[in-house]
Chains A and B, each alone.
Chain A
Amino acid sequence: MKVYMDNGATTRVTEPVYAAMQPYFCEIFGNPSSVHGFGREARKAVEAARAQVAKAIGAEPREIYFTGCGTESDNWALRGAAYANAKKGRHIITTNIEHHAVLHTCRQLEKEGFEVTYLPVDSYGLVTPEQLEAAMRPDTVLVSVMYANNEVGTIEPIPELAAVAKRHGALFHTDAVQAVGHVEIDVKAQNIDMLSLSGHKFHAPKGIGALYVRHGVRLQRLMEGGAQERGQRPGTENLAGIVGLGKAIELATGDIPARAAKMAAIRDHMIERIMNEIPHVQLNGHPTRRMCGNVNVSFYFIESESVLLHLDLRGVAASSGSACTSGSLDPSHVLLAIGVSHEHANGSIRLSLSDENTMEEADYVVDCLVETVAKLRAMSPLYEDFLKGVETVGTDD
């Protein structure tokens, strides 16, 4: 059995999305900026997709800018807003569990003379409006908080946080890369000024993203070139990608409550079985304010890469936020931020569902986990010592 449960990393392009894109390679290929019929046909497709994206998040089409990926959207939102408002103030607030696209951009802005406050989160990964309120300063120009965390799946109280930023006259950006298609988003009702999204997280292809920028918000553009995207994001449009993004977001946001409920039922079934059938395990993230497709657990006494390799050999794709896979000895900054110990962070894995995963697949994956964890514990000196009731004494390295 082959089971793909790494949808937080990327999703497959579904057939309807692929079908919608297909004419835009060989048949409709014009440059959307061209005056002729070929170009006009391409332009029409780009604008139709823009309308689809806008509708999906409650925005106006003119507020949607197509980008190359979620990372570009995050970079543009943060740097663009910081540079455009530098005269007004140089203070930015974010959290310590953001994606690196936000965190590393903030670190760079610090080098450029901006001040950044990184709000800590609680043991579930939540940041509160009260925390944000207390951190706001007269020179705060921008607040950026992710809609849902990519590793532990915690859903932040975005409308409440955005309201705080608005009251203080600061811009509010959210990295909604993991949330779009799984959580109902209405940028107007939720007071969101900027929102990043990425197509390949909801069955569009890789290489296409978008940034929503509320009408009237001024961003400095990061690239110079042609007049594409209202003169703000130059470069010939990724025509087929844009069409795919439009179709995929329409499908993903079509019936969120029903699809999220179906996914959450599978998620909860997996969590329940793991907690019941595998001893010495902890769930990372919030029990209920959680992405409908996210399972993140730490297995004590074993290391996650070994778990992933065993799962892979059984046809199961999962991921870890841990040291070994990234080539760094530091475990996930998100797990450490929610207070998971280094040791337990090293034994954590993430299973991320899409709306295509089934209960049967979930059971198969848990069966594989039960076997794998037992096998790895049998060869773990930590487990041996735990059973003997002695502390493991190793060396520093």
Chain B
Amino acid sequence: MEYTEQVMDHFMNPRNMGDMEDASGVGTVGNAKCGDIMRIYIKVENDVITDVKFKTFGCGAAIATSSKATEIVKGMTLEQAEQVTNKMVMEALGGLPPVKVHCSVLAEEALHAAIQDYRAKLEKGEAPEAEEEEVRYV
């Protein structure tokens, strides 16, 4: 099984890896039994994903697809981010071996789960819109 250079680059140098204490939304998908868990944190300001972080338990493809997905959606509006598919992530990585396609599906699901989590919090009136962030720049 052979990974593309882009996959190996994201595996070795993951972008946006880490957690986020004041995240607007968090999505965790997959399970340890099957060997993949992805968690994506987003920070939303004025409907724009201003920051995004991920943590992944999984194989090389799982780590690379979550890294790539965060890179793609950073700076997107929520509507744009909701249009991001596993296929887009996969293509941006120059493709994945067939047995690893499910990793890209998980990345899509984790991202959408994080957005959903944010929207649910918004509805319940607990949306942590990160306005205090801007205060820092005053």
Q: Chain B residues with Cβ under 8 A from A342's Cβ? A: 32-34
Within 8 A of A (CB), among B37-55: 37-39, 54-55
Judging by beta carbons under 8 Å apart, are B29 and A397 in contact? yes
Among the listed A303, A379, A382, which residue makes an inter-chain contact with B59, where contact means beta carbons less than 8 Å apart? A303
Instruction: Answer whether residue A26 sits at the interface, using C-beta atoms and an 8 A cutoff.
Output: no
Instruction: Answer whether residue B129 sits at the interface, using C-beta atoms and an 8 A cutoff.
Output: no
Q: Chain A residues with Cβ under 8 A from B57's Cβ? A: 301-303, 380-383
Q: Chain B residues with Cβ under 8 A from A394's Cβ? A: 28-32, 37
Instruction: Answer whether residue A7 sits at the interface, using C-beta atoms and an 8 A cutoff.
Output: no
Contact with B along A350-389 (1 / 0, CB 8 A): 0000000000000000000000000000111111100000
Instruction: Answer whether residue B35 sits at the interface, using C-beta atoms and an 8 A cutoff.
Output: yes
Instruction: Answer whether residue B95 sits at the interface, using C-beta atoms and an 8 A cutoff.
Output: no
Q: Chain B residues with Cβ under 8 A from A380's Cβ? A: 37, 55-57
Q: Among B11-19, B72-80, B84-92, B120-128, which stretch is in contact with chain A?
A: B11-19
Q: Give Cα A329 to B109, complex, Å.
A: 19
Is chain B's interface secondary structure helix, strand, loop, or mixed overall?
A: mixed
Q: Give Cα A331 to B59, complex, Å.
A: 13
Instruction: Answer whether residue A276 sits at the interface, using C-beta atoms and an 8 A cutoff.
Output: no
Judging by beta carbons under 8 Å apart, are B31 and A397 in contact? yes
**Number of B residues whose C-beta is below 8 Å from A?**
36
Q: Chain B residues with Cβ under 8 A from A323's Cβ? A: 34-35
Minimum CB–CB distance from A303 to chain B (whole Å) comes to: 5
User: Which residue in chain A gives the minimum CB-CB distance to B62?
Assistant: A303
Judging by beta carbons under 8 Å apart, are B63 and A306 in contact? yes
Q: Give Cα A379 to B13, complex, Å.
A: 12
Judging by beta carbons under 8 Å apart, are A305 and B60 in contact? yes
- Given A325-B1, A379-B14, A397-B106 in contact, is the A392-B32 Cβ separation under 8 Å? yes
Judging by beta carbons under 8 Å apart, are B35 and A324 in contact? yes
Q: Chain B residues with Cβ under 8 A from A397's Cβ? A: 29-31, 34, 36, 102, 106
Minimum CB–CB distance from A308 to chain B (whole Å) comes to: 9
User: Which residue in chain A gives the minimum CB-CB distance to B102?
Assistant: A397
Q: Chain A residues with Cβ under 8 A from B106's Cβ? A: 397
Among the listed B8, B56, B100, which residue makes an inter-chain contact with A379, where contact means beta carbons less than 8 Å apart? B56
Instruction: Answer whether residue A219 sits at the interface, using C-beta atoms and an 8 A cutoff.
Output: no
Judging by beta carbons under 8 Å apart, are B36 and A381 in contact? no
Judging by beta carbons under 8 Å apart, are B28 and A392 in contact? yes
Instruction: Answer whether residue A313 sits at the interface, using C-beta atoms and an 8 A cutoff.
Output: yes
Q: Chain A residues with Cβ under 8 A from B33's Cβ? A: 342-343, 346
Instruction: Answer whether residue B135 sits at the interface, using C-beta atoms and an 8 A cutoff.
Output: no
Judging by beta carbons under 8 Å apart, are B32 and A343 in contact? yes
Minimum CB–CB distance from A196 to chain B (whole Å) comes to: 28
Contact with B along A41-70 (1 / 0, CB 8 A): 000000000000000000000000000000
Name the residue in B1, B3, B34 with the highest tally of chain A Cβ atoms < 10 Å from its Cβ: B34
Contact with B along A314-349 (1 / 0, CB 8 A): 000000001111010101000000000011001000
Among the listed B11, B35, B109, which residue makes an inter-chain contact with A395, where contact means beta carbons less than 8 Å apart? B109
Q: Give Cα A322 to B12, complex, Å.
A: 21
Among the listed B11, B18, B37, B99, which residue makes an inter-chain contact with A392, where contact means beta carbons less than 8 Å apart? B37
Q: Chain A residues with Cβ under 8 A from B54's Cβ? A: 379
Minimum CB–CB distance from A79 to chain B (whole Å) comes to: 31
Q: Chain A residues with Cβ under 8 A from B62's Cβ? A: 303
Within 8 A of A (CB), among B59-73: 59-60, 62-63
Extra 5 A-B pairs, beta carbons < 8 Å, given A380-B56, A382-B57: A301-B57, A303-B59, A322-B35, A323-B34, A379-B63
27 contacts between A and B (CB under 8 A): A302-B57, A303-B35, A303-B36, A303-B62, A306-B58, A306-B60, A309-B60, A323-B34, A323-B35, A324-B35, A324-B59, A325-B1, A329-B35, A342-B34, A343-B33, A346-B35, A379-B14, A379-B55, A379-B63, A380-B37, A381-B37, A381-B38, A381-B55, A392-B32, A394-B32, A395-B31, A397-B106
Residues of A within 8 A of B (CB): 301-303, 305-306, 309, 313, 322-325, 327, 329, 331, 342-343, 346, 378-384, 392-397
Closest 8 CB pairs of A and B: A305-B59, A327-B99, A343-B32, A324-B59, A381-B39, A342-B33, A381-B55, A346-B35
